[in-house]
Structure 1
């Protein structure tokens, strides 16, 4: 389903500042057009503090439907409109770009990041991602590791940010597919089976930063 007028939106803004990127703001859809939504200036619930947005800001957003399901999508600021109150114009998502809480899927970007993987208490190895996103990862590893579909892995992803800081995101990943590569390695596609919101946000922040870098090229 698409967000409609009067729906509350909960959003995070891409930022190189870790604390700012982790902040969640609340807004409401006040109007809609064919390709855009007009929303209130976001605030931090309980404080009344407003968040100033700028043209081009990347947003990770969710809204809650009547049956209690969270629906996630990505958007960005298109501009502003001065009405009775100031409204912010954001890109309306395509229906197929909205994902539910059961299968959250955020922006995915190509990235070579080091990932430590534990198959069992005795088997650990290092792989290299070829893409990452808020809903899962794909990585390359040596064929000698006996990986198979539906297998669950403990993972630690090394994430470098633009400001020079480095974080580790920890999660459990479930293998969706293992592809035999001609290079002598396997490509492993996996979705997050268990990940905290704070760990997921580390990955989303990296994806937003990488996308911004692509747009500047």
Structure 2
């Protein structure tokens, strides 16, 4: 499951504060991941975590996300690049985030919607929420969409590094409704086909946004 060069994210909770780190896997042997010293996502500085530190780990592979609890068990200074060792739990303790468990977050993402039928006009709009499995978007006046219509969505995601990332998703209009709070017409779009790399970007965006909201509370 673990691949050399794969990305891993770590969460440390200390005194009700949560700190996020990212790193890359350099080696995997003897039930331990050997990773680069992690980068603190707030300070953008390399961090040295003490042995015995317990962490929530997220690992992304083939468009899927896995999570597990791990412990820092040591350091390896024998290589040119200092490494940190993480204990990998039994397979039964590694959770695969199922599609129904995709995190849905409130987010105004720029979206270009192209109906599958060419006689229907494409339009640009913003989402009101998004997850790895779909999104809700505000509909413009005079739209031509109906429940069951197939569409192609191009979304612009702003990741933590500030750079835009463009993802494409084929979807289906599952519901058309009016938001009672804003009086906006909206469409609930279910993703039918998303490339693993694009879905991973969406999942990453949602987890980043969720963590941001959690820190703001």
Common fold: TM-score over 0.5: yes
Deviation at 1:193, TM superposition (A): 1.0
Larger Rg: 2
Q: Does the C-alpha gap of structure 1 residues 147 and 76 become closer, same or farther in structure 2, counting only changes over 3 Å? A: farther
**1: distance between equivalents of 2:151 and 2:136?**
13
Q: Does the C-alpha gap of structure 1 residues 181 and 195 become closer, same or farther in structure 2, counting only changes over 3 Å? A: same
The aligned residue for residue 142 of structure 2 is 144
Runs of 4+ in 1 over 3 A off after TM superposition: 8-12, 23-28, 50-58, 60-63, 76-82, 88-94
Deviation at 1:92, TM superposition (A): 5.0
Correspondent of 1:110 among 106, 124, 129 = 106
Whether contact under 8 Å (2:171, 2:189) holds in the other structure is yes
**1: distance between equivalents of 2:65 and 2:161?**
26
1:40-95 CA distance string (max 9 Å, x none): 334xxxxxxx43577545515679xxxxxx9x66535453568xx9624599588x
Q: Does the C-alpha gap of structure 1 residues 115 and 14 become closer, same or farther in structure 2, counting only changes over 3 Å? A: farther
Q: Does the C-alpha gap of structure 1 residues 201 and 86 become closer, same or farther in structure 2, counting only changes over 3 Å? A: closer
Q: Does the C-alpha gap of structure 1 residues 181 and 213 become closer, same or farther in structure 2, counting only changes over 3 Å? A: closer
Whether contact under 8 Å (1:133, 1:204) holds in the other structure is yes
The aligned residue for residue 196 of structure 2 is 197
Deviation at 1:187, TM superposition (A): 2.2
Deviation at 1:108, TM superposition (A): 1.9
Deviation at 1:25, TM superposition (A): 9.6
**2: distance between equivalents of 1:202 and 1:158?**
10
Alignment of 1:167-178 (within 5 A): 167-178=165-176
Whether contact under 8 Å (2:60, 2:200) holds in the other structure is no
The aligned residue for residue 162 of structure 1 is 160
Deviation at 1:14, TM superposition (A): 4.2
Comparing 118-127 with 148-157, greater Cα deviation is found at 118-127
Report how many residues are paired: 174
The aligned residue for residue 208 of structure 1 is 207
**Secondary structure of residue in 2 paired with 1:216:** helix
**Secondary structure of residue in 2 paired with 1:51:** strand
The aligned residue for residue 41 of structure 1 is 32
